[in-house]
Amino acid sequence: MPLPIDHSRLIKEKAHRLGFSYCGIAKAMPLNEDARRLENWLKQGYHGKMKYMENHFDLRIDPTKLVPGARSVITLLMNYFPENSQQEHAPKIASYAWGKDYHAVLKSKLKQLLAELQEEIGAITGRGFVDSAPVLERTWAQRSGLGWIGKNGNLINKNSGSFYFIATLITDLPLGYDDPFAKDFCGTCTRCIDACPTDAILPDKTIAADQCISYYTIELKDALIPKEASGKMEGWMFGCDTCQTVCPWNRFSTPHEEAAFSPLAEILNLSTREWMNMTEDQFTKLFKDSPLKRPGYKGIIRNIQFISVPD
């Protein structure tokens, strides 16, 4: 009869065949320390107008409430580091959004992984999550040995940097568990803090999300971006990669091999004028499978207008 460690080995083999770069497994349990940290972060108002962050608090900190009977949390990383680069004067777009929407890509792979496990192991229950559910995914990645949470809030893998999507599969299957990643290799480095255009990275490893360019350009639904961000956007139209590009650990990043993340030609090449001249119908057709659909046409135009205003 297969042991839990055998099942863990099987899961990792299948994960790699599906294109995931890393797979780690942790025991499902309440995250009491994270609960205190999250509660304080919310009280400080660092989530801005992202009110959904206040919802389902108990589910965020306890996977057994999110998935009844949960025994194991499987964390998977998928590389999205690009081989290409945008034209020098194009409005800047965070590289995770250059190809197809990662939510759909990773959810499909999680569904396939679970189906294959059910076929080989038997009647197991599981749910896959990608960034849009109350799961503290970076904590689970650290707990499963995949890296540490850097000063910029990103999970950093010692061998490959931080350009990774994180997917989570919570299951009632008991497994062999990986050791947590115990060390923080950021050390005294403050490059991400120093480079953040809007000072959203605080010295105590806290991210003031309500000041982050990604928040302004994606999550904020207001008709106007706050005036205090004027002159600080550094050309970012959608998201921001600054804290990752300056991170020394990303010198180990290598280009991804996932066809779905291949960049759209328009994202690499369109000028500010071409973006501004685009109609809503054209936008909808071009970016129907892209993360850019989250702020939508009006949000993108708002962002371009804001970053195009002279300082």
128 forms bridges with which residues in the sheet? 169
Proportion of the chain above pLDDT 90, given as a percent: 87
pTM: predicted TM-score of the whole model, two decimal places: 0.95
Largest CA distance in the chain: 69
| Residue 113 pLDDT exceeds 60 | yes
Pairing of strands 236-238, 92-93: parallel
Query: What are the helix (H) ranges across the chain?
Result: 4-17, 32-43, 57-61, 63-66, 102-121, 137-143, 191-195, 213-214, 242-245, 265-269, 272-277, 280-286, 296-308
Predicted confidence at residue 61, as pLDDT, reads 87
Average pLDDT of span 220-226:
96
The token pair at 274 is 């071409």
In order of 109, 183, 201, 219, 245, the CA distances from 249 in angstroms are: 27, 14, 17, 27, 9
Quick one: pLDDT at residue 185?
97
**pLDDT, tens digit, 9 for 90 and up, residues 226-253:** 999 999 999 999 999 999 999 999 999 9
pLDDT in tens, 61-109: 899 988 899 999 999 999 999 999 999 889 999 999 999 999 999 999 9
Q: Are 277 and 132 in contact (CB under 8 A)?
A: no
Q: Using one digit for the tens of pLDDT, what is the confidence trace for 138-162?
A: 999 999 999 999 999 999 999 999 9
- The active-site residue, picked from 6, 58, 62, 131, is 131
Report the distance separating Cα 240 and Cα 227, nearest Å: 18
Q: Which of 253, 273, 275 is nearest to 264 (CA)?
A: 275
- Which pLDDT does position 311 carry in this prediction? 43
How many helices (H) does the chain have, and how many strands (E)? 13, 8
Give catalytic status of residue 179 as yes or no: no
Q: Give the model confidence (pLDDT) of 259-276 as tens digits.
A: 999 999 999 999 999 999
Mean pLDDT, the chain, whole residue set: 95
Judged against a pLDDT cut of 90, whether residue 53 lies above it is answered with: no
- Virtual CA dihedral for 222, 224, 228, 231, nearest 10 degrees? 130
Q: Which long-range contacts (CB under 8 A, 24 or more apart) does 134-137 make?
A: 134/55, 134/56, 134/57, 134/59, 134/60, 134/66, 135/60, 135/63, 135/66, 135/168, 135/170, 136/31, 136/34, 136/38, 136/60, 136/61, 137/75, 137/166, 137/167, 137/168
Q: What is the pLDDT of residues 26-52, one digit of tens each?
A: 999 999 899 899 999 999 999 999 998
Q: Which range has the top average pLDDT, 8-12, 130-134, 201-205?
A: 8-12
pLDDT at 254 over 70: yes
> What is the rounded average pLDDT of the residues 296-310?
92
Q: Which residues pair with 126 in a beta bridge?
A: 171
| Residue 204: predicted pLDDT | 87
Give the confidence band of 309 by pLDDT, cuts at 50, 70, 90.
low
**Average pLDDT rounded to a whole number, residues 197-214:** 96
